[in-house]
């Protein structure tokens, strides 16, 4: 289970970095989004990777999941969604003004 999770996080991070290095601004935004998903999964898997533990604090339960990574990932998802919406708005405005969605389109003036 841990090997599959590590390969999944690595694939997401690698593909996100590859998209981040592209010249189109929407590819860069998609790369940032995939990279944030990889970091979120890494933090989430850092809590505990396994099943059978209740996510809530119960008196009769002995092993419980750590709620801190879940809270951190939930906060990161909200912040990542806001950042993605801002970057999409910024990219659309840049495309409207320059007529191109290249990352360095403003440097040609």
Query: Encoding tokens for residue 13?
Result: 């991070």
Two structure tokens written together for 60: 């009769």
Distance CA(32)–CA(85), nearest Å, equals 12
pLDDT tens-digit readout, 52-98? 666 566 666 666 667 788 888 899 999 999 999 999 999 899 888 88
Classified as helix, coil or strand, 102 is strand
Q: Distance between CA 4 and CA 10 in Å, rounded?
A: 10
* Chain position carrying tokens 């290249």: 102
Q: How many CA atoms lie within 13 A of 36 on its CB side?
A: 19
Phi-psi region of 86 (alpha: psi -120 to 50; beta: other; left: phi over 0): alpha
Report field, pTM of the whole predicted structure over 0.85: no
For residue range 11-20, what is the model confidence (pLDDT) as tens digits? Answer: 999 999 999 9
């Amino acid at each position: 289970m841990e090997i599959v999770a590590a390969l999944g996080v690595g694939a997401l991070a690698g593909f996100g970095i590859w998209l981040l290095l592209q010249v189109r601004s929407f590819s860069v935004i998609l790369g940032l989004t995939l990279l944030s998903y990889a970091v979120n999964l890494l933090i989430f898997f850092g809590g505990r990777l396994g099943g059978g533990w209740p996510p809530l604090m119960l008196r009769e339960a002995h092993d419980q999941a750590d709620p801190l990574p879940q809270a951190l990932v939930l906060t990161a998802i909200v912040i990542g969604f806001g950042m993605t919406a801002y970057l999409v708005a910024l990219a659309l405005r840049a495309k409207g003004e320059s007529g191109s969605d290249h990352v360095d389109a403003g440097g040609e003036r």
